[in-house]
């Protein structure tokens, strides 16, 4: 397809949820998310696609085959997510949904009729940007999280996932595994902007996702006056926290993985008070499980030692874990061949495709990101590369839907 055609549809969602930073605030069930879902429905209606929301709040548009089509009735699922991290980039998620709509247009314009359903999915709370657990919609579908836990997850204002869902008109009582939907899916292909500096062709194919997880850390001490408490008398959790930030980086560097502390809250959060509590979240990722475990073990023991010296408390608890994902090798190779020997590359970023890969043959297509920036306003992709992504996705759907 031509770059201008991509841009025309892309521009329709560009203003939705855009912040002054140039990044996006598109949290699940927020006004922006609902506006994107309404836009998705309107696009589906324009194309005569049947829409549906599953029990976990994931939204779908179905391109159904003609009655009597030859295939076994199982669907080819494509799509991604609308939600963003705070001030995230434009492409992470929505690119996969917009590209899927355009790929359907392209296939129809070429006279293709699918022998099995082609379904475009928009997954809920992929980023965990509002409720903390990433890939919530796909985890629920796959039975990888207890629905009671999901219902009770809270956002920064104390609103639960169940309350937010209900306020948006969806039914949180229905949350739970959806084995029938998984069994009715022949393959899932998620197109996504590449999120590092790893792809120097317009389109690539994913080989694997690094194992990764999120941990909540609580540092506790004694709140006191910044001007009257002698240094030796302090039990300052901010000090232990500061040590932990450096320790995370050091352990990751020594082991060969990544560790990030990107979110922190202090109590009482006053310039002239020693904090009584610091809560922060660790994100750690590695090329394999052993390296990830080594980072965590080294980190935990160093921070415990340091907390004992500081007279502070330290507790760490997992919030989510994603094991290593090796995408279906046959499908990966088939798609790379189909796309003329497209580069095959792993990623450290998490995706719904990583969750569903345990249940359904799954593949990912990446579109080049010239800045290499993601989860920040500087995330980018050229219209030409996005158009090449649409062409690639159309070729893949044509291959899989006959
Ligand atoms: C989600 O995009 C993640 O990798 O954290
Ligand atoms: Mn994403
Ligand atoms: Mn993301
Ligand atoms: Mn992601």
> Distance between CA atoms of 57 and 343, rounded to whole angstroms?
34
pLDDT reported for residue 350: 97
The atom of ligand 1 lying closest to the CA of 92 is 2
Report how far ligand 1's centroid is from the alpha carbon of 325 (Å).
Answer: 14
Of 346, 305, 288, 314, whose CA–CA distance to 215 is shortest?
314
CA distances for 344 relative to 205, 256, 334, 363, angstroms: 5, 21, 11, 11
Which residues are bridge partners to 367 per DSSP?
Answer: 193, 203
* Predicted confidence band of residue 206 (pLDDT cuts 50, 70, 90): very high
> Which residues sit with their C-beta closer than 6 Å to ligand 1?
127, 134, 349-350
pLDDT of 70 above 80: no
Range list for CATH 3.40.630.10 in the chain: 3-210+324-400
CATH architecture assigned to 212-322: 2-Layer Sandwich (3.30)
Of 139, 190, 183, 228, whose CA–CA distance to 393 is shortest?
190
**Residue 285 marked in a binding site:** yes
> Distance between CA atoms of 309 and 261, rounded to whole angstroms?
22
pLDDT of 71 above 90: no
> How many Å separate Cα 245 from the centre of its chain?
24
pLDDT reported for residue 68: 85
Range list for CATH 3.30.70.360 in the chain: 212-322
Which one of 3.40.50.2000, 3.30.420.40, 1.10.3720.10, 3.40.630.10 gives the CATH number of domain 3-210+324-400? 3.40.630.10
- pTM, 2 dp: 0.95
- Residues that place a CB less than 5 A from ion ligand 4: 350-351
ipTM score over 0.85, yes or no: yes
The atom of ligand 1 lying closest to the CA of 375 is 2
Ligand at minimal distance from the CA of 348 is: 1
pLDDT of 69 above 90: no
> Distance between CA atoms of 202 and 368, rounded to whole angstroms?
5
Of 187, 43, 196, 59, whose CA–CA distance to 125 is shortest?
59
Report how far ligand 3's centroid is from the alpha carbon of 96 (Å).
Answer: 12
| No. of helices (H) and no. of strands (E), the chain | 12, 15
């Amino acid at each position: 397809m031509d770059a201008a055609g991509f841009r025309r549809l892309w521009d329709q969602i560009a203003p939705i949820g855009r912040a002054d930073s140039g990044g996006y605030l598109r949290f699940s069930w927020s006004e922006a998310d609902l506006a994107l879902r309404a836009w998705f429905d309107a696009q589906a209606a324009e194309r005569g696609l049947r829409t549906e929301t599953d029990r976990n709040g994931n939204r779908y548009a179905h391109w159904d085959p003609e009655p009597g089509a030859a295939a076994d009735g199982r669907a080819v699922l494509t799509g991604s997510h609308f939600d963003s991290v705070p001030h995230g980039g434009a492409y992470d998620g929505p690119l996969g949904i917009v590209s899927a709509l355009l790929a359907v247009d392209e296939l129809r314009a070429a006279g293709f009729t699918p022998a099995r359903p082609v379904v475009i999915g928009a997954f809920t709370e992929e980023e965990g940007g509002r409720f903390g657990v990433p890939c919530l919609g796909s985890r629920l579908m796959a039975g990888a999280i207890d629905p009671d836990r999901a219902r009770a997850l809270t956002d920064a204002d104390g609103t639960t996932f169940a309350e937010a869902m209900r306020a948006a008109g969806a039914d949180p009582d229905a949350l739970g595994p959806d084995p029938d939907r998984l069994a009715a899916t022949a393959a899932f292909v998620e197109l996504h902007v590449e999120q590092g500096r790893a792809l120097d062709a317009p389109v690539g194919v994913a080989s694997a996702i690094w194992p990764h997880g999120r941990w909540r850390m609580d540092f506790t001490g004694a709140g006191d006056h910044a001007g009257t408490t002698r240094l030796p008398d302090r039990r300052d959790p901010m000090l232990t926290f500061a040590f932990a930030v450096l320790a995370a980086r050091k352990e990751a560097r020594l082991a060969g993985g990544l560790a990030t502390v990107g979110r922190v809250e202090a109590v009482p959060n006053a310039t002239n008070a020693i904090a009584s509590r610091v809560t922060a979240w660790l994100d750690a990722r590695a090329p394999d499980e052993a390296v990830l475990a080594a980072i965590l073990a080294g980190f935990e023991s160093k921070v415990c030692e340091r907390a004992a010296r500081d007279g502070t408390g330290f507790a760490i608890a997992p919030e989510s874990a994603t094991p290593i994902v090796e995408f279906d090798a046959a499908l990966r190779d088939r798609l790379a061949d189909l796309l003329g020997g497209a580069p095959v590359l792993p990623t450290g970023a998490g995706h719904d495709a990583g969750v569903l890969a345990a249940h359904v043959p799954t593949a990912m297509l990446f579109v080049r990101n010239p800045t290499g920036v993601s989860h920040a306003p500087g995330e980018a992709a050229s219209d030409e590369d996005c158009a090449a992504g649409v062409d690639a996705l159309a070729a893949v759907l044509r291959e899989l839907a006959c």
